[in-house]
């Protein structure tokens, strides 16, 4: 019966450093906050200015 192989260690040149992980996290947080801004704030502003989706169609 064969013994299950242990997973190989990740080589050091493929491993992410803490600084790189920080910038990945920063990018994810920025993207998430921009999505919240777009999906929450923009519809409220459009409603406040009495605009609808049909008013944006000529722009596209």
pLDDT 10s per residue in the chain (60 long)? 566 677 778 777 778 899 999 999 999 999 999 999 989 998 899 999 998 888 878 887
Range of the domain at 37: 20-50
What pLDDT, on the 0 to 100 scale, is given for residue 57?
A: 86
What pLDDT, on the 0 to 100 scale, is given for residue 4?
A: 65
> Alpha helices of the chain — where are they, by DSSP H?
18-36, 42-48
Do the domain assignments include residue 57? no
Do the domain assignments include residue 43? yes
Q: Count the Cβ atoms, other than its own, within 10 Å of residue 45.
A: 9
CB 37 within 8 A of CB 43: no
Give dist(CA 57, CA 51) in Å, integer.
11
Do the domain assignments include residue 39? yes
Do the domain assignments include residue 40? yes
pLDDT 10s digits, 4-18: 677 778 777 778 899
Map tokens 């921009």 to a residue: 34
Distance from the Cα of residue 53 to its chain's centroid: 25
Q: Into how many domains does the chain fold?
A: 1
Do the domain assignments include residue 28? yes
């Amino acid at each position: 019966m064969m013994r299950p192989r242990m997973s190989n260690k990740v080589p050091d040149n493929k491993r992410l450093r803490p600084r790189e992980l920080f910038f990945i996290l920063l990018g994810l947080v920025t993207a998430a906050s921009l999505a919240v801004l777009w999906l929450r704030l923009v519809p409220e502003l459009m409603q406040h200015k009495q605009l609808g989706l049909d008013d944006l169609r000529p722009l596209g």
